Amino acid sequence: MRTYLVVLFSLLVSSLATAAPAIIPSPPAIAASGYILIDADSGEVITSKNADERLPPASLTKLMTSYVLSVELEEGNVSNDDMVTISKNAWAQNPVFAGSSLMWIEVGKQVNLHDLHLGVVISSGNDATVAVAEHLAGSESAFADVMNQHAQVLGMNDSHFVNSHGLPDTDHYMTARDLATLSKAILKYPDEYALYSEPDFTYNNIRQTNRNRLLWKDDSIDGLKTGYTKEAGYCLVASAKKNGMRLISVVMGAKSQLGREIETQKLLAYGFRYYETHQLYSMGDELTDAKVWAGTADQVRLGVERDIHLTIPRGKHKDIKAVMNLNEVIKAPVTKGKEYGELVVTLDGEELLREPLLALQSVEQGGLFKRLWDAIVLFFTSLINI
C-alpha cells in the first residue's frame, strides 16, 4: 500500500482562521440502570454506562414488534388494510394484561392492521401487540422466535424475547446498546417511524395520548417509546433532530416518569451542545482514481460502499484529515465493488475511521500488446524503485 492522497477537510468553513481548542466537559451524571447516547447517522457512541447490561425492557419491547411489522409491510407480506380477528389471547380482558396498558380491543372483533400498529406505538397496548404478533406469525411464541431472528440480523447480540409486549419474564431482556441499534433500524422506515410522533389515538371511543411526554416538551424530539414495569423501572428511548443532526438516547431503569424524561433531556442537550456530525462522503461518489495496468482503461474510479458520517467535538471539523491508501499495483481485470485501497480518517492523530475503497466500475483486460507493454513498463519501474 502507498499513500496516494492527503485531503484536509474544511467543512462549512469560510474562514482560514485557526480553530480554538474544543472544550468538552465530562458527560452528565445520569440516574438510570443503563443508558447510551449515539448519533443516528454515524453510529458514534457519545456517552454510555452499563450499555451492555441485560435489563428488563418493559414496553420498549414493542419497538421490536413495530420494527418486524414495518419490515413485513415494506416487503409486501401484509397490508395496513388487513383485517385482524381478535383472539382471546389478544382480548383486552385477558387476565395476563390486568393493570397494564391497553388499546381496548374486543375478542371476535375485526381491527385493521394499521389501527393495531397505532395501538402498539401510541397506546402501548399489550392487547394490540399480541394481535399483531398472531397476525404475522400465527402465535405469540412463534412471533417471539421471529423477533429473536431479527435481533440477530441487526447485531443485537444481548437481547432475547419471549413475548411481543415486554411483560416480565426472566428470559426476556434487552440492553441499552441494542435498543439504540434497533432504533436506528426503525428510522429506515419513515412512514412507520412517523407514527411515533402522533400525539394521540382514539379507538373504541377511547382517546389515549402518546406516552412519550417529551413530544410536547421539546420540538426536536419526534420519537420513540416509553416503558414501565416494577422490574424494569421507568424507561425511555428518544430520537431527536436539531440542525441536521439526529441523536438517539436510551434510558433504562430510571426512578420515575419525570426522572426518565429529565435524564433523557440531559443526554440530548449534552450531545447537541458539544458534538456535531458531518457527512464526509456519499455512497457511490468518486473519491479518487487509480492507475490500472494492462486494462482496456488506464484509470479506475474508487469510492466507498456507504455514506460516511463522522461525529466529532463541535468546532473540530477543520482538523479532520483523510488519507487514501491505494494498492501499489492494480492490474486488470478490475472488478466493480472489489477493494483496491482504504480510506483512513484521523483527528488530532487519533484514528476515527478506516473504510475500504472500492472500484466503482469494472475494467477488463486489454489486448495482448497492451498487456505486454504495461508489463515491460512495470518491470523497469520496479527496477527504478529498488
Residues marked active site are found at 59, 62, 124
| 3-state secondary structure labels for all residues of the chain | CEEEEEEECCCCCCCCCCCCCCCCCCCCCCCCCEEEEEECCCCCEEEEECCCCCECCHHHHHHHHHHHHHHHHHCCCCCCCCEEECCCCCCCCCHHHCCCCCCCCCCCCEEEHHHHHHHHHCCCCHHHHHHHHHHHHCCHHHHHHHHHHHHHHHCCCCCECCCCCCCCCCCCEECHHHHHHHHHHHCCCHHHHHHHHCCEEEECCEEEECCCCHHHHCCCEEEEEEEEECCCEEEEEEEEEECCEEEEEEEEEECCHHHHHHHHHHHHHHHHHHEEEEEEECCCCCCEEEECECECCCEEEEECCCCEEEEEECCCHHHEEEEEEECCCCECCECCCCEEEEEEEEECCEEEEEEEEEECCCECECCHHHHHHHHHHHHHHHHHCC
* Helices 126-137, 113-121: inter-axial angle, 10-degree rounding: 130
Omega cis (within 30) before 358:
no
C-alpha cell at 384: 527504478
Please give the Cα distance from 241 to 239 (Å, whole number). 7
Please give the Cα distance from 220 to 265 (Å, whole number). 11
Q: Which amino acid is present at 41?
A: D
Please give the Cα distance from 267 to 376 (Å, whole number). 62
